[in-house]
Structure 1
Amino acid sequence: MLSTHTLAQYTADIEDYPIHYTEAGNGEILLLIHGSLCDYRYWRWQLPALSQQYRVVAPSLRGFWPTALTGRDSAFNIEQHTNDMVAFSRQLGDGQPIHVLGHSRGAQVAMALACAAPDLVRSLVLADPGFRFTYEAAGYPFPIENVAALLERGEVEQALAGFIDAVNGAGTWRQMVGWFKTMVTDNAYTLLSQAEEANPGINLEQARQLQCPILLVGGANSPARYGNRIDILANTFEQALRITIPLASHGMNLANPKAFNQEVKDFLAAHAAS
């Protein structure tokens, strides 16, 4: 069985940038795209379970650990991450469609990937998508500039606690286990760039053209704004299946991995290439 503590690391050259990733298993490809402050280590409980049936590939997006930013970088944005994942997906599957799963900010990258290159996406899983839609005002639902200011003063833990609690719910940071705190600390300074990135949002008219099967996943205890995103997407896509992971909030794949993994397995099995 794959160890969740020593994940093998590989590198792919994408647009002259080294994308670091881990992978396990064989079969149809499932691409896992992490969200803010995370990297491929975020999927430690998915790789062993899902690789029993699939070739599971989890990259660290540009600017994240193991080559994490230490300051601002204009190349850190949704558009660049999407372009990277389109090229990475095309390379992985030799141009054939693959399954794509994105969580939180990673769900925006996954959705943007599907809209930019629908031929590459066999199925799409969006877990607690937090993105805005283009008809909504730009910006975050909380003052991320305050988090950036704390980082600039070197108050890293306070900045991370503020961001994690704003995204996941009050009191989340103090409940986080050691390995998770290590991971987000490694990626702390990505928030400086994230606070300034141009966020294009998701265009529902464009997204409505997608024909691939879609699974919308929410945590039973997730903050209401994620459920609101899922409500809108469920009303947009007739083909979408919506499920809720019990006993879990925003990080449902960590809080209740057994239920999360089984729901993903069931969905993928129903939409396999054969």
Structure 2
Amino acid sequence: MKNSIFFTSLIFLLVTNFSCKNKQNTEAVNTLKKSERELKTLELDGYKISYIDIGKGEPVVFVHGAISDYRVWENQMDAFSEKYRVIALSRRYAYPNDQTTSDSNDYSVKAHAKDLQNILQKLNLGPVHLVGHSYGGSTSLVATLENPDLVKSLILLEPPVSSMLENLPEAAGLDEEFANKVVIPAAKAFGENNEEAAVALFIGGVMGDSLYFDKSPQNERAMWLANTTEIKAIASGADLFESLMCQDFEGLKISTLLIKGEHSPKSLRLTSDELHKCIQNSELKELPNASHGLQHQNPEGFNKIVLEFIKSH
């Protein structure tokens, strides 16, 4: 079961930036390159974390998923900074941070959650509205469980907490299918040092179009390829994820919003459903016209849902 959880987590982490299906959504993705903002850095034990810090008001902190970086929140920065202080960070080993690695590097969700807690404390933000997508959602969830005083409200965008699906009949066979069709051939490409082929396999496999990577905007392809370091660690088979079950959320009292895409993969939708059942003070919203790339496939709808939730909490 541990291996199947790994395979399910891996495939969804690798596609945190699902591309769009029509011209309007493609234009939304293209805004990733629209603005160049001043990057700041924060040092954690000699390692420099890059982040954007704009606006004034209560802090809203955005945590990206795997194979992406702070730029994935471009469609949120202006909209949220009108009323809030926006911090969009690049997690350890994400662009433009140092990606030097060794066998001793720790890529785990728990390690990233520790980073996140240290960042919130070093910036002296007080309780924040914490928004985490995919791997960044798992990171945000673990950080909140470990240090709830740092978080005022929690917004989770399809975190791959695959342990929630272990005993769910509806999830049977999903992980093996993804592993055989996508994960194994892409891992083979990584092993052959063909990063572009590996990323193309993951994107094409999940989107059901082997040419999808080639047809995607250049800036989007460039962002994927600039963030493969963490993915190599995930593809190595290392145990990176926290195993969380329903009882682990019994003490979580923080207001939590879960968002799932209308067209997102079944496993991610099921995980959001299960988390909603287990987190007492939670709401679940479905974002129309979106898959796993929630925040940029339907930015207007996404921003409306999240801003309304933050305003009420």
TM-score, with normalisation over the residues of structure 1?
0.89
| Structure 1, unpaired ranges of 5+ | none
Q: Give me the whole-angstrom Cα distance separating, in 2, the residues matched to 1:57 and 1:51.
A: 9
Decide which of 294, 297, 301 is 1:252's aligned counterpart.
294
Partner of 2:195: 156
Instruction: Label 1:182 to 1:160 Cα distance change in 2 as closer, same or farther (>3 A).
Output: same
Instruction: Label 1:66 to 1:12 Cα distance change in 2 as closer, same or farther (>3 A).
Output: same
Q: Give me the whole-angstrom Cα distance separating, in 1, the residues matched to 2:44 and 2:184.
A: 31
**Quick one: percent identity of the two aligned structures?**
28
Conservation of the 8 A alpha-carbon contact between 1:45 and 1:254: yes
C-alpha root-mean-square deviation of aligned residues, in Å?
2.2
Decide which of 65, 70, 75 is 1:45's aligned counterpart.
75
Q: Are 1:18 and 2:48 an aligned pair?
A: yes
SS of residue matched to 1:46: helix
Decide which of 303, 308, 312 is 1:261's aligned counterpart.
303
Deviation track 1:91-124 (CA, whole Å, cap 9, x = no partner) reads 2235x21110100111100100110101111000
Q: Which has the higher helix share?
A: 2
Conservation of the 8 A alpha-carbon contact between 1:68 and 1:187: no
Conservation of the 8 A alpha-carbon contact between 2:132 and 2:155: yes
1:25 deviates by 0.8
Decide which of 127, 131, 141 is 1:97's aligned counterpart.
127
SS of residue matched to 1:76: coil
Partner of 1:201: 243
Q: How does 1:171-190 map to 2 (within 5 A)?
A: 171=209, 173-190=213-230
Q: Give me the whole-angstrom Cα distance separating, in 1, the residues matched to 2:165 and 2:291.
A: 27
1:36 deviates by 1.0
Which region of structure 1 is more displaced relative to structure 2, 141-150 or 25-34?
141-150
SS of residue matched to 1:225: helix
- 2:197 aligned partner, one-letter code: Q
Q: Are 1:87 and 2:128 an aligned pair?
A: no
Q: Give me the whole-angstrom Cα distance separating, in 2, the residues matched to 1:182 and 1:54.
A: 30
Instruction: Label 1:213 to 1:114 Cα distance change in 2 as closer, same or farther (>3 A).
Output: same
Q: Give me the whole-angstrom Cα distance separating, in 2, the residues matched to 1:265 and 1:186.
A: 30
Instruction: Label 1:259 to 1:159 Cα distance change in 2 as closer, same or farther (>3 A).
Output: same
| Structure 2, unpaired ranges of 5+ | 1-32, 168-173
Q: Are 1:191 and 2:231 an aligned pair?
A: yes
Q: How does 1:30-41 map to 2 (within 5 A)?
A: 30-41=60-71
Conservation of the 8 A alpha-carbon contact between 1:68 and 1:186: no
Conservation of the 8 A alpha-carbon contact between 1:70 and 1:190: no
SS of residue matched to 1:201: coil
Deviation track 1:9-41 (CA, whole Å, cap 9, x = no partner) reads 000112332111112111111111100100101
Instruction: Label 1:135 to 1:234 Cα distance change in 2 as closer, same or farther (>3 A).
Output: closer
Q: Give me the whole-angstrom Cα distance separating, in 2, the residues matched to 1:241 and 1:102.
A: 15
Partner of 2:22: none
TM-score, with normalisation over the residues of structure 2?
0.78
Q: Are 1:218 and 2:265 an aligned pair?
A: no
Instruction: Label 1:165 to 1:226 Cα distance change in 2 as closer, same or farther (>3 A).
Output: farther
- 2:232 aligned partner, one-letter code: L
The runs of at least 4 aligned residues of structure 1 exceeding 6 Å deviation read: none
Partner of 1:78: 109
- 1:43 aligned partner, one-letter code: W
Conservation of the 8 A alpha-carbon contact between 1:72 and 1:190: no
